């Protein structure tokens, strides 16, 4: 195989989990490199549905070593629960490794996330409220606690007792809420540490060895390109680096060890949370897509905003990720629409047509999409397994998308199940 990054090419929720699960059949390792339990990755196997927030989607394949690498932030309570659920379903978890350098989400991060959102009022980001942003903030401010600290009882207590007074000063002074008690946090987190200790190790050498020797490592992206802290629609972004380059930052593997980048995209666009969304459909077509695509958050249950495919964003994603292939999903959801639209450019209020992504898109609420309109298709395609068997209008849609982005489509997805996949080119 090859070392491949699987990256979200839109605003998250592109069904990366399904693509990872498919490719993991031939992988030796699957590594989550960024984000935390703001992610929600679903994998359907037969009648069983698995929802992962932290554990890599490769866990369903017994030969795969699954790594939560340095770039991930970990809420230990959530991870313990996820591991226990897997055990209860009879899945082996011994091949799970957690980086000692991954940062820990603490109770004050979750509270801070919620208080900051409330304070933003109408400018709120619509975060998942899981403490992700504050945990990454503390990492950059060098007052974070890492998994290696957590599983060392002495170091954990020392770090917490040094950091908590500052956190409490902020919480009581600025937000006027009750301070946290160090003893309580220590008690709760020591129990998590005892449970997780056996999984914690130094992962950079492990990932490097697998990437250079086996050459079959999958780097599992979370979130999506447009949510990247630097390259997304700032400030309506997450606090980490979902893009392919994040796989290097978040695992310690150099860029020359990466052989390819698969951008995962839906055949339309969704966004959950606030922020600009040029192709959003607030009419009944938006609801049609939401219901057919079951577009409700895996993590928060929020209804997702739905809209037509945005090629400006996808071309940008192809560029910033160095995408070698696209995995295009949810094609079945568009069945039954008389016509399908593709946004090929943005038009500003002054009438200027842009085909490139502006760095201040978040503030360009006046931007209007320029659409190309294609005929729709009526037939149910969820049982189709080859490109030839797709209705010709669906085929034409895929070809046009491929042409506009300039990156080959490797696979099409026509439903959530493993077998509802049409392979056009094998990226492995």
Report how far residue 119's alpha carbon sits from residue 54's, in angstroms, rounded to the nearest whole number.
28
On whether the CB atoms of residues 43 and 60 are closer than 8 A, the answer is: yes
- Active site annotation includes 13: yes
Among 8, 76, 278, 286, binds ligand IMO (CB under 6 A): 8
Q: Applying CB under 6 A, does 12 fall inside the site for ligand IMO? A: yes
- Residue 315 binding target from ligand IMO, Mg ion, none, CB below 5 to 8 Å by type: none
Among 37, 223, 279, 413, binds ligand IMO (CB under 6 A): 223
Name residue 43's beta-bridge partners: 50
Which listed range, 35-43, 99-107, 391-399, 407-415, lies at the site for ligand IMO (CB under 6 A)?
35-43
Q: How many CB atoms lie within 10 A of CB 189?
A: 21
Q: Applying CB under 6 A, does 390 fall inside the site for ligand IMO? A: no
Helices and strands (DSSP H and E) totals, the chain: 12, 20
Q: How far is CA 24 from CA 3, 20, 87, 420, 428, in A?
A: 11, 6, 20, 16, 10
- Active site annotation includes 41: yes
**Phi, psi dihedral angles at 396 (to 5 degrees):** -65, -35
Which listed range, 12-20, 178-186, 275-283, 304-312, lies at the site for Mg ion (CB under 5 A)?
12-20
Q: Give 35 or 278: the residue with its C-beta nearer to Mg ion.
A: 35
- Residue 111 binding target from ligand IMO, Mg ion, none, CB below 5 to 8 Å by type: none
Closest CA to 369 of 296, 277, 279: 279
Which listed range, 8-16, 81-89, 179-187, 252-260, lies at the site for ligand IMO (CB under 6 A)?
8-16
**Phi, psi dihedral angles at 185 (to 5 degrees):** -65, -45
Q: Give 57 or 65: the residue with its C-beta nearer to ligand IMO.
A: 57
Report how far residue 411's alpha carbon sits from residue 390's, in angstroms, rounded to the nearest whole number.
13
Q: Around 97, how many Cα atoms within 13 Å sit in the side-chain half-sphere?
A: 21
On whether the CB atoms of residues 10 and 317 are closer than 8 A, the answer is: yes
Tokens of 370: 């320029």
CB of 20: closest distance to Mg ion in angstroms? 14
Contacts for 324 with CB less than 8 Å, ≥ 6 apart: 260, 261, 262, 407, 427
Q: Applying CB under 6 A, does 229 fall inside the site for ligand IMO? A: no
Among 227, 309, 328, 405, binds ligand IMO (CB under 6 A): 227
Q: How many residues bind Mg ion (CB under 5 A)?
A: 2
**Which one of the listed residues 21, 41, 53, 103 is annotated catalytic?**
41
Closest CA to 26 of 55, 63, 53, 54: 63
- Residue 375 binding target from ligand IMO, Mg ion, none, CB below 5 to 8 Å by type: none
Q: Applying CB under 6 A, does 3 fall inside the site for ligand IMO? A: no
- Residue 27 binding target from ligand IMO, Mg ion, none, CB below 5 to 8 Å by type: none
Among 4, 13, 250, 318, binds Mg ion (CB under 5 A): 13
Q: Give 251 or 270: the residue with its C-beta nearer to Mg ion.
A: 270
- Residue 20 binding target from Mg ion, ligand IMO, none, CB below 5 to 8 Å by type: none
Among 64, 68, 272, 409, binds ligand IMO (CB under 6 A): 272
Is-cis flag, bond preceding 235, omega within 30?
Answer: yes
SS3 content of the chain, % helix, strand, coil (to 5): 40, 20, 40
Beta strands at 48-52 and 29-32: parallel, antiparallel or unpaired? unpaired
Which listed range, 85-93, 125-133, 322-330, 414-422, lies at the site for ligand IMO (CB under 6 A)?
125-133
Q: Give 132 or 285: the residue with its C-beta nearer to Mg ion.
A: 132
Name residue 328's beta-bridge partners: 265, 412
Among 17, 40, 133, 369, binds Mg ion (CB under 5 A): 40
CB of 221: closest distance to Mg ion in angstroms? 12
Q: Give 128 or 335: the residue with its C-beta nearer to ligand IMO.
A: 128
Tokens of 141: 């401010």
Left (φ > 0), alpha (ψ -120 to 50) or beta: where does 90 sit? left
Q: What does the binding site for ligand IMO look like in residue numbers (CB under 6 A)?
A: 8, 12-13, 38-40, 125-128, 130, 132-133, 222-224, 227, 238-239, 272-273
Active-site residues: which are they? 13, 41
């Amino acid at each position: 195989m090859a070392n491949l990054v699987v990256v979200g090419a839109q605003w998250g929720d592109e069904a990366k989990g399904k693509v990872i699960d498919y490719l993991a059949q031939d992988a030796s390792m699957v590594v989550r490199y960024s984000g935390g339990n703001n992610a929600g990755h679903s994998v359907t196997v037969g009648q069983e549905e698995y929802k992962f927030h932290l554990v890599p989607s490769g866990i369903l394949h017994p030969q795969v070593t699954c790594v939560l690498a340095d770039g991930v932030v970990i809420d230990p309570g959530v991870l313990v629960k996820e591991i226990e659920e897997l055990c209860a379903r009879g899945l082996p978890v011994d091949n799970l490794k957690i980086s000692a350098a991954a940062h820990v989400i603490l109770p004050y991060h979750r509270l801070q996330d919620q208080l900051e959102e409330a304070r933003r009022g109408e400018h709120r980001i619509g975060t998942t409220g899981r403490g992700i942003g504050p945990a990454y903030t503390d990492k950059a401010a060098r007052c974070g606690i890492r998994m290696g600290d957590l599983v060392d009882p002495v170091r954990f207590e020392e770090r917490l007792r040094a950091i908590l007074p500052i956190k409490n000063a902020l919480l009581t002074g600025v937000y006027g809420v009750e301070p946290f008690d160090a003893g309580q946090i220590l008690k709760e987190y020591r129990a998590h540490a005892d449970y997780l200790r056996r999984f914690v190790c130094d992962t950079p050498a492990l990932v490097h060895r697998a990437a250079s020797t086996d050459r079959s490592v999958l780097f599992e992206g979370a979130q999506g390109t447009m949510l990247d802290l630097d390259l997304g629609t700032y400030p309506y972004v997450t606090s980490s680096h979902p893009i392919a380059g994040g796989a290097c930052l978040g695992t310690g593997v150099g860029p020359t060890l990466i052989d390819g980048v698969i951008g995962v995209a839906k055949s339309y666009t969704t966004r959950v949370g606030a922020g600009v969304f040029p192709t959003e459909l607030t009419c009944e077509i938006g609801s049609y897509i939401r219901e057919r695509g079951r577009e409700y958050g895996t993590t928060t249950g929020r209804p997702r905003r739905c809209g037509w495919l945005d090629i400006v964003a996808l071309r940008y994603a192809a560029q910033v990720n160095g995408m070698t292939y696209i995995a295009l999903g949810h094609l079945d959801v568009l069945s039954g629409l008389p016509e399908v639209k593709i946004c090929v450019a943005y038009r500003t209020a002054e009438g200027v047509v842009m085909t490139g992504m502006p760095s201040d898109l978040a503030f360009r609420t006046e931007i209007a999409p320029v659409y190309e309109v294609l005929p729709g298709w009526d037939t149910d395609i969820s049982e189709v397994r080859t490109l030839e068997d797709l209705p010709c209008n669906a085929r034409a849609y895929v070809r046009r998308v491929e042409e506009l982005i300039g990156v080959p489509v490797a696979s099409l997805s026509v439903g959530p199940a493993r077998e509802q996949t049409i392979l056009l080119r094998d990226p492995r």
